[in-house]
Structure 1
Amino acid sequence: MAALAGTTRTSRSPLTVLRRTAWLALALFWSAFAVLEGINHGWLAGALALTLLVLPDLAFLVALGDAPRMAKGQLPPRAVPYYNALHRAAVPLALIVAYTLLPVSWPPAFAALCGWLAHISYDRAFGYGLRTKEGFQRG
């Protein structure tokens, strides 16, 4: 019993596991949807989906010169507003709703939004979320 007292707790709460599992399911859904759009609507739809699957993490380029002065895992504070804006699920979800309700029909845009939502969902599934104003992961 005394040996257990000094061990660190590595298990996740059931709610965290459930939340991350749900995000992973959404990530797989949006990835499959993006691939389907790319197959159905050509290379441009696939290219835009792939671009927005990667693009949100390039927000750190805003403050590339600040990187050597940052702590491990810290994003330069100047890049945080851009990073957080690109990692809020409400933005691409609102755009998808607008796309479906408005008389707009350009499938590559929809594929790109699917790729963007897939990126956000993968980040949440693997424990990466929005950043504090100092650039650290929110706990």
Structure 2
Amino acid sequence: MASVHPRNKNIPFGGITVVFGDDFRQILPVIPKASRTEVVQSSNIRLGCVRNAEENQKIAEFAKWVLDVGDSKVQDIHPDNIYKDPEIIIPWKYLVEKKTNTVKDIVDVTYPDFTKNYTIESYLKERAILTPTNAIVHEVC
């Protein structure tokens, strides 16, 4: 970044804003020039954007389960595991049923009726498939 401006040479990360997150429960929003209140409000809205009470209830139950996993409130099925890596049972209602192709099934569940809805901004904003590597991204696409 020193090539952009010499003062950036001695500034941490070359003067670029870097967001670090170490809590798997957080997907940090990036909102340019937003206040702390706006960022917090944006974070809190993410799970509440569904339009009917039944779906909101399902999402609230899932969010609670995810928090319980993160807070170690879900029972480890092998507590004597020498590697200290907890193993838990994921409830069936949170699993994607494999029909033919695992990746295709995940895409179909996450993006139902994609060809009809891909131009609707809210449809796209409400969905994401997180992948650990770029190789997996290419496999999903």
Same structural fold, with TM-score higher than 0.5 when normalized by the shorter chain = no
TM range (shorter): 0.3 to 0.5
TM-score, length-normalised on structure 1?
0.33
**Greater relative contact order (CA < 8 Å, ≥ 6 in sequence):** 1
